[in-house]
Structure 1
Amino acid sequence: MSSEEDVTLTAGDAEITLQPGNGCRVGSLKVGGLELLRQGDRYGCFPMAPWAGRIREGKFRNGGTTHQMPLNSPPHAIHGFARDAAWRTARAGKTEAAFTYDLADPWPYEGRVTQLIALTEDSLTLTLGIETYGDSFPAQAGWHPWFNRGLGQEDVRVDFSPAWQEERGDDHLPTGNRIAPTPSPWDDCFGMPDGVDVALTWPEQLELKVKSREQWVVVYDEQEAAVCVEPQTGPPNGLNTLPRLVTPIDPLETSTTWTWTRL
């Protein structure tokens, strides 16, 4: 098997397809034959690394050096490079797999991103790690799942209780102010200091809980076909506003677990 060929994991009536050649995204998640993720090369669920969300004007600083990233969502840079890269399959079994991606130009630092996938009959755990081969650098990681809005007669319901919402400016980036959570529709970052805990309920079909020890989640539900619940290690533009340094002795590691129940 080529290291970039799709990988399928199964446990009970759960099945996922992983696409290392297409940004190491989860291309499909089926539970009892129900497809939970929007289909298409740009959809599924992709890892965000070495940053999540937007960087203002594609610029970030590391010490005294300012770096310019390509503006792939003008006027900003968005979601990192991992989703556009071909990853390598390090190992693949029946219910678990591991993949790697070496950071490369235009990212100015050498390092590696690792994604571990573990499937059970009623859960999926995704783990991302970012390590450096040399200099320390700021980084973020997270996931961008596109959950199908409809699985039956009624649309999905998204329930969560954030402590705050990051006020969004006209440029779609947090202003630095924290506000009381507003009603949907959202393309917004929320703070959950006790950890991300969001429930998606497709009436009479399935409930899925997205959890992570991280305290940041972006929720996007402005699209007709899908809703996104994105756990991540910092807010949008966090490389500038809340930098988390990856150092030779302190890699970044984060995980999310999705647990489902048939209704």
Structure 2
Amino acid sequence: MSRVAKNVRLTVGDAELTIDPTHGCRIGSLRIGGTELLRQGEKYGCFPMVPWCGRTENGEFRSGGVLHSLPPNSPPHAIHGTGRDTAWETAREAENESAFYYDLADPWPYPGRVTQTFELAEESLTLRMGVEAHVDSFPAQAGWHPWFLRNLGGQDVRIGFDAAWQEERGESHLPTGRRIDPLPGPWDDCFGMPDGVDVKLTWPEQLELTVRSRDEWVVVYDEQDEAVCVEPQSGPPNGLNTTPRLVTPIEPLEIATTWSWVRL
């Protein structure tokens, strides 16, 4: 029986995580010692991007020579997948770990299942996501879009990372396919980290939080006053077309990220 109507709360020590399965299985709240780290609101928190990340150009992608169309929810492009707009089912729920899933459906043209797990520890949070193909193979992406508060305790965050390259952003807001040396912010840009995503957020005298992932792609967005985003993902924006990662019935797409923190 479905159990999607209520939020799920995980607690370990002074860390508290609230998950909202009904509204895209997003993290609604992450509190450390009573301090909220995420921007609040139904569009914010931290939502999964699946089965694609960022913008897909003109809402179109090809698979096996077949052209598919997706709703242009960020005209003229389709953005951030269907997972954030879907009610997920609760598969498992414990004090410090929970799992959820939803089945891919229209407007996504291929049957499959997406799973997401959350594991909370005293000084870290590990998120995992998987995309399974039921019948036909298809290209897919997965990742997370957290909205970290820019200011904690009167201190603005500092973002630190060492990327191998930056995807040049064209007028369409999509990568041109050209890799350039990383530019100074502000950013709404995708970066490559071949040794794995490693981005540090520092709120002076408050908290240091590090976002890591074995995958090499991360989008950094800091153009808003209220929040900054560090988005580990399995491919770049428009990757369904430019760097397709095929999901097959015997080879799912899997991605994980860990956020770890220390008090300052």
Counterpart for residue 14 of structure 2: 13
**Distance between the aligned counterparts of 2:73 and 2:233, measured in 1?**
20
Counterpart for residue 126 of structure 1: 127
Note the alpha carbon deviations across 1:99-153, whole angstroms, 9 max, x for none: 0011001100000000010000000000000001100000000000000000022
Following TM superposition, by how much is the alpha carbon of 1:52 offset from its aligned partner in structure 2, in angstroms? 0.4
Tell me, yes or no, if structure 1 residue 50 matches structure 2 residue 51. Answer: yes
Tell me, yes or no, if structure 1 residue 243 matches structure 2 residue 256. Answer: no
**Distance between the aligned counterparts of 1:77 and 1:190, measured in 2?**
21
**Distance between the aligned counterparts of 1:242 and 1:4, measured in 2?**
37
Counterpart for residue 176 of structure 2: 175
Number of residues of Structure 1 aligned to a counterpart in Structure 2: 263
- In the alignment, structure 2 segments of 5+ residues that lack a partner are none
Letter of the structure 2 residue corresponding to residue 215 of structure 1? E
SS in 2 for 1:22: coil
Note the alpha carbon deviations across 1:21-41, whole angstroms, 9 max, x for none: 010000000000010000000
**Distance between the aligned counterparts of 2:172 and 2:5, measured in 1?**
36
Q: CA RMSD in A?
A: 0.8
Counterpart for residue 70 of structure 2: 69
Following TM superposition, by how much is the alpha carbon of 1:251 offset from its aligned partner in structure 2, in angstroms? 0.3
Tell me, yes or no, if structure 1 residue 227 matches structure 2 residue 247. Answer: no
Following TM superposition, by how much is the alpha carbon of 1:5 offset from its aligned partner in structure 2, in angstroms? 1.1
Tell me, yes or no, if structure 1 residue 138 matches structure 2 residue 139. Answer: yes
Counterpart for residue 262 of structure 1: 263
Contact 2:4 2:87 survives alignment (8 Å)? no
SS in 2 for 1:249: coil
**Distance between the aligned counterparts of 1:136 and 1:63, measured in 2?**
9
Letter of the structure 2 residue corresponding to residue 125 of structure 1? T
Contact 2:104 2:114 survives alignment (8 Å)? yes
SS in 1 for 2:74: coil
Counterpart for residue 186 of structure 2: 185
Contact 1:91 1:99 survives alignment (8 Å)? yes
TM-score (norm. length: structure 2): 0.99
Counterpart for residue 204 of structure 2: 203
SS in 2 for 1:21: coil
Structure 1 residue ranges, 4+ long, deviating more than 2 angstroms after superposition: 1-4
**Distance between the aligned counterparts of 2:262 and 2:231, measured in 1?**
20
Counterpart for residue 23 of structure 2: 22
**Distance between the aligned counterparts of 1:85 and 1:131, measured in 2?**
17
**Distance between the aligned counterparts of 1:239 and 1:59, measured in 2?**
9
Tell me, yes or no, if structure 1 residue 81 matches structure 2 residue 82. Answer: yes
Following TM superposition, by how much is the alpha carbon of 1:63 offset from its aligned partner in structure 2, in angstroms? 1.0
TM-score (norm. length: structure 1): 0.99
Alignment of 1:33-48 (within 5 A): 33-48=34-49
**Distance between the aligned counterparts of 2:246 and 2:105, measured in 1?**
18
Contact 2:17 2:27 survives alignment (8 Å)? yes
Following TM superposition, by how much is the alpha carbon of 1:2 offset from its aligned partner in structure 2, in angstroms? 3.2
Tell me, yes or no, if structure 1 residue 151 matches structure 2 residue 156. Answer: no
- In the alignment, structure 1 segments of 5+ residues that lack a partner are none
